[in-house]
C-alpha cells in the first residue's frame, strides 16, 4: 500500500533553492537554478510580456475582437495548442522563409515548456522507434536522464566536456557518435550548453552533422536559450538551421522560460522536421494522440503572450532589446567575476575558461567537496556538478563570490 512508498530524493537543481530558503545568513547567494535575476537579485518580468498581457486584457474587455488569436472560441485549446503560437514559434526557430516551413514539413505541437516538449518527443520515440537509443552529452542538464528513463527510452552518453582543457572534447564526441548504433537519436543543445556553457564552433557543427548523416542518426535539439547565447535569435538557431539545410529529419524542443522569462507559464513546443508535408501531418496526429491521455491540451496564457510578442513587429523589436539587456548583464558579471578571480587568486591558475563559456551558466570545475565548502562556509548555493548560474549573480556580489571560489579551490 502507500505506506510502502519510500521517500524520493530532492531534485538536484530545485533542491538547492529549498536549502537556500532555509539559510538565514545575510551573505547567502543562490546560484543554483538558472533563472534570470536583476542586479538587485529580484525576478524580472519583461516589459513586452506586460504589454502583451495588457493587450490581451483590453481585447477581452471590449468583446469586439474576442481573443482574435484563437482559432476556436472555445474553453480549451486544441490538443496541438494555439495555432498562432505554433506558427510563430516554428518561424522563430527555423526562419519564416525556410523551405521546411513553406513546404509545411514541420509538425509543431505546443508543449508544457521545454521539459514537456522533450517528454512528448521521448514518448514518440518510445512508440515508433522501439529499442532506439538516445545519445546525451556528458554532462548534460540533469533532467534529460529522468525524461528518457520515465519514457522508457534507452540512453547512453557521449563525451562532451574535457576537464583538462575546460573545453569541448570534440574528438571524444565524434568518436562516440560514430560508435553508436546507426539510427540513434543524438540529443544536442542548440546553443548555450547546460551546464558547461561550451558550444561547438560552426566548423565543428558541420563535422557533427557529417557524422550524424553518415550514421543515419536523428538529431534531437533542445533549444532552451534561443537569443540568450549570442544575443541574436537567428544566430542561436544556426545549429538547428544547419542540419535543416542539409535536409535532415529532426526534433527540436523549444522553451520560452528563459528568453521571455515565462518560467511558470510552461510554454514551449516540440517541432518535428519531416521529409514531406504528408509525413509531418501524420507525425502531428501521433503527437496529439500521445498528448491527449497525458494532459489533454496545453494552457493558453503563455501561448497568447508569445504569439503577441513574436507576432507583432513592435513588441518583437522590444523583446530583442530586453533580451540583449539580460544577456548583457550576465556578460558583465561574467567579466567582473573573472577580473575578481584574477585579482584575488595568487596561484597562477588560468581562469580564462570563464570568459570562453557562454549563456546563463559557468561551469567552474569545482569538485563535489569544493561545492560543499562553497555552501557550508560561504553560503553560496550551487549544484554539485560545479555549475553556477551567473543569472543569479550581481556585480555587487562578484568579489564575495571570487573569495569563496578561491578559498574552495585551494581547500
Ligand atoms: N533544457 C535545458 C537544457 C534547460 O536548461 C532547461 C531549463 O533549465 C530546459 C530544457 C527546460 O526548461 P523548461 O521546462 O522550464 O522550459
Ligand atoms: O537551472 C536549471 O537548469 C533548470 C531549472 O521543471 C528548471 O533545471 C527546474 C525545474 C524545471 C525546469 C527548469
Q: Rounded CA gap, 42 and 36, in Å? A: 8
Q: Which residues of 135-151 are buried (b: 16+ CB within 10 A; e: fewer)?
A: bbbebbbbbbeebbeeb
Picking from 405, 400, 360, the residue whose alpha carbon sits closest to that of residue 32 is: 360
| pLDDT, tens digit (0-9, with 9 covering 90-100), for 11-42 | 878 888 888 999 999 999 999 988 999 999 99
- pLDDT value of position 83: 93
Q: Which residues pair with 157 in a beta bridge?
A: 136
- Reply yes or no on whether the pLDDT at 128 is more than 80: yes
C-alpha dist (Å) from residue 211 to 218, 289, 323: 11, 33, 34
CA-proximal residue: ligand 1, atom 15 (nearest): 257
- Rounded CA-CA distance 174/281 in Å is 33
pLDDT in tens, 40-51: 999 999 999 999
Cis status, amide bond into 195, omega within 30 of 0 = yes
Mean pLDDT of 94-101: 97
Mean pLDDT of the residues in the chain: 94
pLDDT, average across residues 60-89: 71
Q: Which uninterrupted H or E stretch holds 6?
A: none
pLDDT digits (tens, 9 = 90+) for 356-406: 999 999 999 999 999 999 999 999 999 999 999 999 999 999 999 999 999
The interface pTM score, or ipTM, of the predicted complex is 0.92
The rounded Å distance from CA 83 to ligand 1 centre is 23
351 is known as an active-site residue: no
The pLDDT tens digits for 252-311 are 999 999 999 999 999 999 999 999 999 999 999 999 999 999 999 999 999 999 999 999
pLDDT tens-digit map of 165-181? 889 999 999 999 999 99
What is the rounded CA–CA span in Å between residue 350 and residue 348?
A: 6
**SS3 string of 217-250?**
CEEEEEECCCCCCCCCHHHHCHHHHHHHHCCCCE
Domain residue limits, the chain: 2-46+319-409, 69-311
Is the model's pLDDT at 74 over the cut of 70? no
Closest CA to 105 of 263, 250, 206: 250
- State the pLDDT at residue 10: 83
Q: Whose CA is nearest to atom 5 of ligand 1?
A: 194
Collapsed DSSP state (helix, strand, coil) of residue 130: coil
Q: What was the pLDDT predicted at 28? A: 95
Query: What does the pLDDT average to over 92-96?
Result: 97
Over residues 301-329, mean pLDDT: 95
Whether 65 shows a pLDDT value over 50: the answer reads no
69-311, which class in CATH?
Answer: alpha beta
Identify the band that residue 106 occupies on the pLDDT scale cut at 50, 70 and 90. very high
CA angle 258, 259, 262 (to 5 degrees): 60
Report the atom number in ligand 1 closest to the C-alpha of 118. Answer: 10
Q: How far is the CA of 143 from the centre of ligand 2 (A)?
A: 8
Closest-lying ligand 1 atom to the alpha carbon of residue 263:
15
Confidence at residue 58, expressed as pLDDT on a 0 to 100 scale: 83
How far apart, in whole angstroms, are the C-alpha atoms of residue 366 and residue 33? 17
- The CA distances from residue 57 to 68, 178, 306, 314, in Å, are 12, 53, 15, 18
Name the phi and psi angles at 359, rounded to 5: 90, -155
pLDDT, residue 18, reads 87
What percentage of the chain reaches a pLDDT higher than 90? Answer: 87
Confidence at residue 302, expressed as pLDDT on a 0 to 100 scale: 94
Q: Cell numbers 597562477 label which residue?
A: 348
Q: How many other C-beta atoms can be found within 10 angstroms of the C-beta atom of residue 57? A: 9
Q: Spell out which residues line ligand 1, taking CB within 6 angstroms.
A: 34, 113-115, 141, 189, 194, 222, 224, 255, 257, 263, 268
At 197 the pLDDT is 95
Locate the ligand 2 atom nearest the alpha carbon of residue 35 and give its number: 1
Separation CA 110–CA 102 (nearest Å) = 19
Q: Which three cell numbers stand for residue 186?
A: 543524438
CATH class assigned to 2-46+319-409: alpha beta
141 counts as catalytic = yes
Residue 268: nearest ligand to its CA?
Answer: 1
The stretch 157-162 carries a mean pLDDT of 97
Percent of the chain scoring above 70 in pLDDT: 96
Return the DSSP state at 132: -
Collapse the DSSP code of 151 into the 3-class scheme (helix H, G, I; strand E, B; otherwise coil) and give the result: coil
- Give yes or no: 377 in active site: no
> How many angstroms separate the CA atoms of 6 and 16, rounded?
21
Amino acid at each position: 500500500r502507500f505506506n510502502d512508498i519510500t521517500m524520493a530524493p530532492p531534485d538536484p537543481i530545485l533542491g538547492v533553492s529549498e536549502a537556500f530558503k532555509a539559510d538565514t545568513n545575510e551573505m547567502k547567494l543562490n546560484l543554483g537554478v538558472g533563472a534570470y535575476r536583476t542586479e538587485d537579485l529580484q525576478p524580472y518580468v519583461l516589459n513586452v510580456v506586460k504589454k502583451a498581457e495588457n493587450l490581451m486584457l483590453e481585447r477581452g474587455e471590449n468583446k469586439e475582437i474576442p481573443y482574435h488569436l484563437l482559432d476556436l472560441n472555445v474553453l480549451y485549446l486544441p490538443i496541438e495548442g494555439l495555432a498562432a503560437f505554433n506558427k510563430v514559434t516554428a518561424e522563430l526557430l527555423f526562419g519564416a522563409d525556410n523551405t521546411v516551413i513553406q513546404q509545411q514539413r514541420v509538425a509543431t505541437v505546443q508543449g508544457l515548456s521545454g521539459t514537456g516538449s522533450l517528454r512528448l518527443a521521448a514518448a514518440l520515440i518510445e512508440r515508433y522507434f522501439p529499442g532506439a537509443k538516445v545519445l546525451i552529452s556528458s554532462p548534460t542538464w540533469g533532467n534529460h536522464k529522468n525524461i528518457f528513463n520515465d519514457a522508457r527510452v534507452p540512453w547512453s552518453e557521449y563525451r562532451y566536456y574535457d576537464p583538462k582543457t575546460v573545453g569541448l572534447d570534440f574528438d571524444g564526441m565524434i568518436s562516440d557518435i560514430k560508435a553508436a548504433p546507426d539510427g540513434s537519436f543524438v540529443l544536442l543543445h542548440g546553443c548555450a550548453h547546460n551546464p558547461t556553457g561550451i558550444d561547438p564552433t560552426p566548423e565543428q557543427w558541420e563535422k557533427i552533422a557529417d557524422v550524424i548523416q553518415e550514421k543515419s542518426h536523428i538529431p534531437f535539439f533542445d533549444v532552451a536559450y534561443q537569443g540568450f547565447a549570442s544575443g541574436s535569435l537567428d544566430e542561436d538557431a544556426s545549429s538547428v538551421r544547419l542540419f535543416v539545410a542539409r535536409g535532415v529529419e529532426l526534433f527540436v524542443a523549444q522553451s520560452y522560460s528563459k528568453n521571455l522569462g515565462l518560467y511558470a507559464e510552461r510554454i514551449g513546443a516540440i517541432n518535428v522536421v519531416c521529409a514531406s508535408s504528408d509525413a509531418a501531418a501524420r507525425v502531428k496526429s501521433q503527437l496529439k494522440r500521445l498528448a491527449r491521455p497525458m494532459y489533454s491540451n496545453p494552457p493558453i496564457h503563455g501561448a497568447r503572450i508569445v504569439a503577441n510578442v513574436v507576432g507583432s513587429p513592435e513588441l518583437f523589436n522590444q523583446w530583442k532589446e530586453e533580451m540583449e539587456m539580460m544577456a548583457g548583464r550576465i556578460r558583465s558579471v561574467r567579466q567582473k567575476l573573472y577580473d575578481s578571480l584574477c585579482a584575488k587568486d595568487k596561484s597562477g591558475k588560468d581562469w580564462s575558461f570563464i570568459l570562453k563559456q557562454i549563456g546563463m551558466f559557468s561551469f567552474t570545475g569545482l569538485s563535489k567537496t569544493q561545492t560543499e565548502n562553497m555552501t557550508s562556509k560561504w553560503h553560496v548555493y550551487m549544484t554539485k556538478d560545479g555549475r553556477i548560474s551567473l543569472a543569479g549573480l550581481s556585480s555587487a556580489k562578484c568579489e564575495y563570490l571570487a573569495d569563496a571560489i578561491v578559498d574552495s579551490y585551494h581547500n
